[in-house]
Amino acid sequence: MKEPTSRRAFLAGTACATAATVAGCNGPLGGRSPEAAARRWIYAPANHETGELAFLDVSYRSPSSLHADAAHLHPSVRPEDVDRVLDGELVEGDVAVDLEPAALDHSLRVGNPYADVPKLLVNAGRFDQETAHRLAALQAFPSTLPGSSYGTAGNFDLVTYSRSNHGAVREGEAASIYARRESRARTLVENATSRSSYSSDLPDDVREFLRTVGFDDATEIRFTGRRSDEYGGEAFSYAVSGDTTTARWVSLRDRDAELMRSQAEDVDALRDVQITTDGDIVAVSGTVDTDRVGLDGRLFQRGRAPFE
């Protein structure tokens, strides 16, 4: 079985070897692996939510890696997790983006549809800055180019398309940001471009939780927090390697370790179940046939593989 991050590490190294110098690395992600580059956009929701309780949903995909293993995925999975970002020419309004299937190393969505917190879509891979501008504008409504520049943050050019729709772009990376104010969008970019592999506003326990989760081929996370309390969270992550996939279920102050073990061992399709604990973090992992997984939480939540 492959090391889960090996393919993305190779692609990041290739990008470093072939692209223009950015942030001390010859590549668009500044020397970070794609998953590390994606993690730094995840922010602390309690710092942006006006209410007492805040939650944040995170959805991560490595489109190029999933495309390479697409033949092993169940047909019901491919349209949602691979083809939606790899269907050649993406068109919205007056903006079109033409990308090869292997061009995107990662695609990250962050937000909460029920709260006034920033919503992000970040795509990174091997594309030029003009394509990055188009990718950022593609998610804005209305989709308009070129937008209005309002300076820079880190190595990103900042663009606004409308009062609440903004972009942060550079060669190989494009972030579409829905935020009420330009200043809030700028803060998110500045936090994401700190020297750390995590946004500078994340607590240490959340950083360790995200590190344990891993960002391999597909990851789904929800974490919650109160202004006066600690964060909790739950995540499901998948590393696809041909016809075998490593599935991981991670909890931060959300689930009992023995209950997680018992529930995972009851999943007939899951093999080689292992459990680790580190303080408030519990992680369960196992292997499963790739064509039986849905790249979401169903494998563990329902106690059976989504597909036979």
Same domain? 138 vs 253: no
Same domain? 74 vs 146: yes
pLDDT of residue 163: 86
Residue 6 lies in a domain: no
Residue 16 lies in a domain: no
List helix spans (H) across the chain.
Answer: 6-18, 34-39, 63-68, 78-81, 129-138, 182-192, 204-213, 257-265, 298-301
State yes or no: pLDDT of 53 exceeds 70: no
What's the domain range around 216?
A: 204-301
Please say whether the beta carbons of 49 and 88 come within 8 A.
no
Same domain? 188 vs 209: no
Same domain? 70 vs 140: yes
Pick the last residue of a domain from 157, 192, 227: 192
> What does pTM read for this prediction?
0.84
State yes or no: pLDDT of 7 exceeds 80: no
Same domain? 170 vs 55: yes
Residue 307 lies in a domain: no
State yes or no: pLDDT of 238 exceeds 90: yes
* 128-165 residue pLDDT tens: 999 899 888 877 665 567 789 989 999 999 999 888 89
Residue 14 lies in a domain: no
Q: How many domains does the chain have?
A: 2
Residue 308 lies in a domain: no
Span of 8-12, 143-147, 202-206, 225-229 with lowest mean pLDDT: 8-12
Same domain? 158 vs 227: no
* 190-216 residue pLDDT tens: 988 877 777 777 888 888 999 999 888
Buried b or exposed e, range 23-37, using 16+ CB within 10 angstroms: eebebbbbbbbbbbb
Q: Read off the amino acid at residue 114.
A: Y
Pick the last residue of a domain from 192, 219, 235: 192
Residue 12 lies in a domain: no
Residue 8 lies in a domain: no
Pick the last residue of a domain from 192, 213, 245: 192
